[in-house]
């Protein structure tokens, strides 16, 4: 494979926004750090969530889902919720623009401290949880223009969707699977929305949910930051769902005996399987967390959280800033190809945006200039981004997770690479493509086509099922041991481990199960200890 195909690419511009680098991806969209000029050489940084091209081409459902997310999030005005600034349509697809929060996700911070064998400081963990619960309660209390409660349920309250900024403030994001009474139904039959490990029993059973479903998820988050480990490891999603609906969660004290009884009892009540015995609202849980945390010295203030985030996430933040500077310097040395993807023509045409996008607009999502661009590349190609290493999901705004999360969502479809704007370099600026640093990659080979893949809990885009994948690793994953979870289209599961520094790994799926042959017509199945004889039926496995 050539170097051109190895290098990940993305559009230079979407609408009036200049994309700088990807910072997160999920099953529906990729989130980019982007910027827009304000005055002179002053720019404002934002997080831009761009729908995957293949979803834009598939039809109305995904488009409506992203727009519905914007309609919900834009109504919530609270310091602990990442605000949506704009929703628009462009040649590259439907997009959301959100406030950029520099820092890290709660899941990123938790992984960083656990890597050193430590726990999140209790005062820091308590403050992050209290902030996130304040934002969650604001979402639950959202009302329409007539003042009627929308009965909004987030349905994906998880560490990947809690952004902890360098300002010491935690914010809730990603309302992509949120549900409100009366909202347009965009959920396909048979599809479970949200992360399995944080689902309440009633949500896992597909029953009607209310805000107490999110209270359960907050209880799982609290359990994990206190215990220092996952409550449900998700080695098998079906097994996890069965545990959630059948087994009461273990108390924190069973894995960390030094946790005070007040915190142990509070989390246990939050994780009550009977929804009527559970704490009723996020605001009540917030108040009780504040009170219970007094037994461990109280909550940290914003300044203390800020210092902790800057110390813990500093390597990620510095690496991202260096990558952004490198991209900007490289672009400044390149001429602009007018009329190509994301070029001046696309910029001028994208000033008109709308918050209500029709299904027919998706059909316009072509990428003009791509063929012209390829013809002009010839023997040399300069990719307009130079990333020294993969960017982990560190402080993304509104929907940057994925950490990535979904992580991302569980078993989500993946996106094909988006073509980048490229141009013939000038004589004064002709950096050889081979001089640009490459991202760390892992080659995954399997004995059956892979439909979905997770690396260290992060959902990896797959696209068309295939036996061979090349996975771009995040900064936190490069040079570290990796745990892979894969699934085929027929729901066979497999796991694999890659040691630190490995560049290839093999995943072995079990052989497909062969259906049991049916009994010949008219034959009587006899089992005196089981059900009465029934003609023509094979023995049921559930009676063995």
Q: What's the rounded Cα separation, in Å, for the pair 198 and 204? A: 10
Largest CA distance in the chain: 89
Q: Which residues contact 515 (CB under 8 A, 6 or more apart)?
A: none
How far are the Cα atoms of 9, 90, 227, 266, 464 from residue 95, in angstroms, in the given order? Answer: 18, 8, 38, 40, 23
Ramachandran angles phi, psi of 431, nearest 5°: -70, 130
Q: Which residues lie below 8 Å from residue 179, measured CB to CB, with a gap of 6+?
A: 152, 153, 155, 209
Residue indicated by tokens 């910029």:
347
Residue whose structure tokens are 């809690």: 162
d(CA 329, CA 176): 34
Of the candidates 279, 216, 282, the one whose C-alpha atom is nearest the C-alpha of residue 249 is: 216
Residues in Cβ contact with 343 at an 8 Å cutoff, skipping those fewer than 6 apart: 12, 13, 336, 337, 369, 421
8-state DSSP, 465: -
Question: Would you state the structure tokens that stand for residue 86, as one six-digit string?
Answer: 């704009």
Question: Strands 482-487 and 493-498, how do they pair?
Answer: antiparallel
**DSSP output for 82-102:** PPEEEEEEETTEEEEEEE---
Burial 463-496 (b: 16+ CB within 10 A, else e): eeeeeebebbbbbbbbebebebbbbbeeeebbeb
Q: How far is CA 68 from CA 75, 100, 140, 402, in A?
A: 11, 20, 16, 20
Active-site residue (options: 156, 174, 264, 410): 156
Under a CB-based contact definition with an 8 Å cutoff, are residues 256 and 189 in contact? no
Between CA 135 and CA 77 the distance in angstroms is: 9
Residue 156 bears catalytic tag? yes
Q: How many Å apart are CA 101 and CA 170, to the nearest integer? A: 9
CA–CA separation, 476 vs 158, rounded Å?
A: 19
Strand partners for 493: 487
What is d(CA 341, CA 365) in angstroms, rounded to the nearest whole number? 11
| Residues 395, 444: Cα–Cα separation, whole Å | 28
Known catalytic residues are 156
């Amino acid at each position: 494979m050539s170097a051109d195909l190895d290098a990940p690419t993305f559009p230079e511009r979407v609408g009036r926004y200049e994309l700088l680098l990807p910072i997160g991806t999920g099953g529906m969209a990729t989130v980019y750090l982007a910027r827009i000029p304000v005055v002179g050489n002053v720019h404002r940084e934002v997080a831009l969530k761009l729908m995957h091209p293949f979803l834009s081409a598939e039809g109305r459902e995904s488009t409506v889902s992203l727009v519905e997310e914007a309609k919900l999030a834009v109504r919530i005005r609270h310091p602990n919720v990442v605000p949506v600034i704009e929703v628009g349509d462009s040649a590259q697809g439907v997009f959301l623009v959100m406030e950029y929060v520099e820092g890290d996700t709660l899941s990123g911070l938790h992984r960083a401290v656990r890597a050193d064998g430590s726990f999140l400081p209790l005062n820091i963990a308590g403050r992050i949880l209290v902030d996130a619960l304040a934002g969650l309660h604001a979402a639950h209390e959202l009302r329409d223009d007539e003042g009627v409660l929308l009965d909004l349920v987030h349905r994906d309250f998880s560490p990947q969707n809690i952004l902890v900024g360098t300002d010491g403030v935690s914010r809730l994001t990603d309302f992509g699977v949120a549900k409100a009474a009366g909202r347009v139904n965009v959920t396909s039959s048979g599809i479970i929305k949200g992360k399995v490990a944080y689902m309440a029993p009633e949500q896992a059973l597909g029953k009607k949910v209310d805000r107490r479903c999110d209270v359960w998820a907050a209880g799982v988050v609290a359990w994990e930051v206190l215990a220092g480990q996952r409550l449900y490891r998700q080695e098998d999603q079906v097994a996890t769902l069965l545990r959630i609906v059948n087994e009461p969660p273990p108390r924190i004290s069973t894995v960390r005996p030094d946790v005070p009884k007040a915190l142990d009892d509070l989390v246990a009540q939050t994780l009550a399987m009977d929804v009527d015995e559970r704490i009723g609202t996020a605001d009540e849980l917030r108040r009780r967390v504040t009170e219970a945390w007094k037994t461990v010295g109280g909550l940290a203030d914003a300044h203390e959280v800020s210092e902790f985030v800057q110390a813990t996430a500093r390597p990620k933040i510095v690496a991202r800033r260096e990558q952004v500077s490198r991209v900007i310097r490289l672009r400044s040395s390149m001429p602009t190809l007018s009329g190509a993807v994301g070029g001046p023509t696309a910029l001028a045409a994208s000033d008109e945006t709308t918050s209500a996008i029709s299904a027919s607009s998706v059909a316009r999502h072509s990428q003009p200039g791509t063929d012209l661009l390829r013809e002009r590349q010839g023997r040399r190609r300069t990719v307009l981004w130079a990333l020294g290493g993969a960017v982990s999901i560190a402080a993304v705004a509104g929907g940057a997770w994925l950490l990535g999360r979904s992580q991302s969502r569980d078993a989500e479809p993946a996106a094909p690479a988006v073509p980048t704007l490229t141009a013939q370099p000038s004589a004064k600026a002709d950096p050889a493509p081979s001089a640009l640093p490459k991202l760390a990659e892992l080659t995954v080979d399997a004995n059956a086509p892979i439909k979905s893949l997770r690396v260290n809990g992060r959902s990896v885009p797959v696209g068309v099922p295939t036996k061979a994948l090349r996975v771009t690793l995040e900064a936190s994953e490069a040079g570290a041991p990796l745990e892979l979870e894969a699934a085929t289209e027929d729901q066979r599961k497999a796991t694999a481990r890659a040691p630190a520094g490995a560049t290839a790994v093999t995943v072995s799926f079990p052989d497909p199960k062969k259906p049991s042959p049916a009994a010949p017509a008219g034959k009587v199945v006899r089992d005196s200890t089981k059900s009465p004889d029934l003609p023509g039926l094979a023995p049921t496995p559930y009676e063995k």
